[in-house]
Each structure stands twice: as structure tokens, then as C-alpha cells.
Amino acid sequence: MAQAYLQVIAHYFAQPGNGDALVRPLTELAAATRGEPKNLYYEFFRSPLDPDHFVILEKYSDANGLAEHRETEHFQRLGFGTIIPLLDRREVTSHMVQGDAA
């Protein structure tokens, strides 16, 4: 039986024209996040139609994974310190995904 996990879907909308400035810190954040004990998956994608729009997909092994991620040094430094100040807005949702019987 597959284990339950926390699925996080984040939409980051850079301030107009700041999309390029997000690529490097998002790349660094992704690499650091993949090393977290509860992280199962972390990838980000840039819209080909709107270069200031990014989608981040994250998976954590339990419901506390996202909260713990937000407390890490790399998220404090890169997320709060570099990325979020460049955003016009962000939308983050999380959902527990139950394992299936397959």
C-alpha cells in the first residue's frame, strides 16, 4: 500500500519583469530542499507564456513537512530573504494525498 504524503502546489508570480531574477534562487532552493529528511519531491516550472509565473510542486512524507521546510536555514535565506521580496503575489495550497491500495 502506498504511503500518504503532503502535496504542495505553489504559484509564484514575480513582480513584472523579475522572472529571470527568480531562476537562480529557486534552483538553489530546490537543491537544498531535496536534501530535507521529509522531502520526497521538489521541482519548479516556469510558464512559457508568462515568464514571471512559476509553479512549484513539492511532496513531503507527512503533514508537518511543509512547516519544517519553512523553518530551514535555506528557506529563511532564499525564500523569505530573496524570492518572496521579488514576488507580486504567491498562492500556496497543500493537500494530504492518501495512499492507494494498488
Phi, psi (rounded to 5 degrees) for 62? -155, 175
- The CA-atom distances, in angstroms, between 36 and each of 52, 65, 82 are 27, 9, 20
Tell me the CATH number for domain 5-97: 3.30.70.100
pLDDT on residue 60? 97
What average pLDDT does range 79-88 have in this prediction? 97
The cell numbers describing 44, all together, are 519548479
Per-residue pLDDT of 52-64, as tens digits, reads 999 999 999 999 9
pLDDT on residue 99? 73
Residues 54/14, Cβ–Cβ less than 8 Å: yes
Nearest to 70 by CA among 85, 58, 87, 88: 58
Ranges 13-17, 43-47, 65-69, 96-100: which has the least confidence: 96-100
Query: Which residues lie across from 9 on neighbouring strands?
Result: 57, 93
